[in-house]
Amino acid sequence: MHRYHTLGKIPRKRHIAFRDDNGKIYHEELKGNKGFDGPSSLIYHIYRPTAVVGTKLIREVKLEEDPDRSLRMRHFFTSKLNKGGSPVLDRTPIMFNNDVTLWMAFPTKEDEFYYRNAQGDEIIYVSDGEGVLETAFGEILYSQGDYLIIPRGIMHRYRFTKGEQHFFITEGKGETRTPSRYRNDYGQLIERSPYSERDFRVPENLITIDKQEPTSVMVKQRDQLTEVMLDHHPFDVVGWDGYYYPYAFSIHDFEPIVGRVHEPPPVHQTFQGDNFVVCSFCPRPYDFGEDSIPAPYNHSNVMSDEVIYYAKSEFMSRKGVEYGSITLHPDGITHGPHPGKYEASIGMKETNELAVMVDTFYPLLVAKAALDIEDPNYSKSWLEGNFDNTLGE
Ligand SMILES: [Fe+2]
């Protein structure tokens, strides 16, 4: 996160003896990425964060690809996936490459263990549901439309408070950040960016748990899940400060940029990862110039594969998609609005669409697990006349 935050109590200087009322030294921990040069926070624990009772390999996380690698447009109905289970252990992979994995999860069961992804940052798009993200840095309340950004290494757990939980998850190996073009030399978001610091929700309500009893932490590293048993509760933090912590941003706080004629997709960019971007398509007034066509023009992806998660059934350029649909438009094939969509968009004043787009700079593979929910007719759905027959519209 690009701004300093602190909760609880911290010493006047870093790396000095910081003691409780009985004179016992708190255990300082630096958590961050990129060695000692990336964003980091200093955390003060009651117990040694290194006190591990034992570790146990739970399982490997193997991503199996669709053996049919032929280049084509793809469409998946995630609403047909089996629901239930854990928000961490029961995710279904949809697509992946070396930089990013896209998952869906419909958890119904809260985990007893805490989870730490040590090999990637996670962006949880909360498509439905309400709850609390519990972390050692404090709590973040979440609801429909939130992106929860959980940098690698940060231990957390979900508590569900209301409704079905629908998560579209982007797990990236690089650091998730706001695009550098939205920030000035000081890291502050500039006036032209589609959001400001006030739109980002940081952890609050630091709860310090002083309990010396074995506590399970599920760690993802080396493409496997390992249970690490600590001899104490990991939320033993009395205070912390820095730039490295989880945060939330609601898609409903993204301020759309519109123009007299169609604006290109980068105006929707919300986050940047290594070799991928995340964009938000939000309700907005349409382009207002004379004869302007609000629907996008056809385009060949510029060195990227395009994935769209439809967070509402409405989308200005597509037919046949529903809430929860995911489409893949790969580099190498031109894509654009479905027949009739740009004609129909002329003169329209606004859209209520809501969608999350992930563009990856290297090709994506489709996961085998997604084949059962695939729409087999999608690749031909731009043919005039054929469309109505194949998708029933
Ligand atoms: Fe596109």
**Residue 58 CA to ligand 1 centre (angstroms):** 39
**Residue 145 CA to ligand 1 centre (angstroms):** 22
Residue with tokens 């990856």: 360
**Residue 379 CA to ligand 1 centre (angstroms):** 15
> What is the per-residue pLDDT for 353?
93
**Residue 301 CA to ligand 1 centre (angstroms):** 6
- Distances, alpha carbon 302 to alpha carbons 46, 98, 266, 316, in Å: 51, 19, 12, 21
Dig out the tokens for 341 from the structure: 């969509």
User: Which pLDDT tens digits describe the chain residue by residue (393 residues)?
Assistant: 779 999 999 999 999 999 999 999 999 999 998 889 999 999 999 999 999 999 999 999 999 999 999 999 999 999 999 999 999 999 999 999 999 999 999 999 999 999 999 999 999 999 999 999 999 999 999 999 999 999 999 999 999 999 999 999 999 999 999 999 999 999 999 999 999 999 999 999 999 999 999 999 999 999 999 999 999 999 999 999 999 999 999 999 999 999 999 999 999 999 999 999 999 999 999 999 999 998 889 998 778 999 999 998 777 677 789 999 999 999 999 999 999 988 988 999 999 999 999 999 999 999 999 999 999 999 999 998 654 433 332
| Beta pairing partners, 221 | 224
**Residue 338 CA to ligand 1 centre (angstroms):** 12
**Residue 270 CA to ligand 1 centre (angstroms):** 16
- Residue 371 burial (CB < 10 Å; 0-12/13-18/19+)? middle
Question: Cα–Cα distance between 201 and 182 in angstroms, integer?
Answer: 18
> What is the per-residue pLDDT for 386?
55
Task: Give the dihedral sign, CA 95/100/106/107.
Answer: positive
> What is the per-residue pLDDT for 388?
42
| Beta pairing partners, 40 | 32
Amino acid at 94: I
**Residue 52 CA to ligand 1 centre (angstroms):** 48
**Residue 264 CA to ligand 1 centre (angstroms):** 9
**Residue 283 CA to ligand 1 centre (angstroms):** 18
**Residue 341 CA to ligand 1 centre (angstroms):** 14
**Residue from 208, 207, 206, 211 nearest 51 by CA:** 211
Q: Helix (H, G, I), strand (E, B), or coil: what is residue 18?
A: coil
**Residue 298 CA to ligand 1 centre (angstroms):** 8
HSE toward the beta carbon, residue 190, CA cutoff 13 A: 10
**Residue 294 CA to ligand 1 centre (angstroms):** 14
> What is the per-residue pLDDT for 342?
86
**Residue 355 CA to ligand 1 centre (angstroms):** 13
**Residue 21 CA to ligand 1 centre (angstroms):** 59
Question: Cα–Cα distance between 281 and 267 in angstroms, integer?
Answer: 10
- Residue 275 burial (CB < 10 Å; 0-12/13-18/19+)? middle
Those residues whose C-beta lies under 8 Å from the C-beta of residue 370, and which sit 6 or more positions away, are: 66, 76, 92, 93, 94, 95
Give the distance from CA 83 to its chain's centroid: 19
Question: Cα–Cα distance between 123 and 74 in angstroms, integer?
Answer: 23
Residue 257 · residue 14 · CB < 8 Å: no
**Residue 130 CA to ligand 1 centre (angstroms):** 31
**Residue 262 CA to ligand 1 centre (angstroms):** 13
Residue 23 · residue 29 · CB < 8 Å: no
- Residue 68 burial (CB < 10 Å; 0-12/13-18/19+)? exposed
**Residue 304 CA to ligand 1 centre (angstroms):** 9
- Distances, alpha carbon 296 to alpha carbons 288, 327, 336, 345, 346, in Å: 14, 16, 7, 10, 11
**Residue 351 CA to ligand 1 centre (angstroms):** 17
Give the distance from CA 310 to its chain's centroid: 14
- Residue 136 burial (CB < 10 Å; 0-12/13-18/19+)? buried
The hierarchical CATH code for the domain 256-387 is 2.60.120.10
**Residue 306 CA to ligand 1 centre (angstroms):** 6
What length does the chain have? 393
**Residue 365 CA to ligand 1 centre (angstroms):** 18
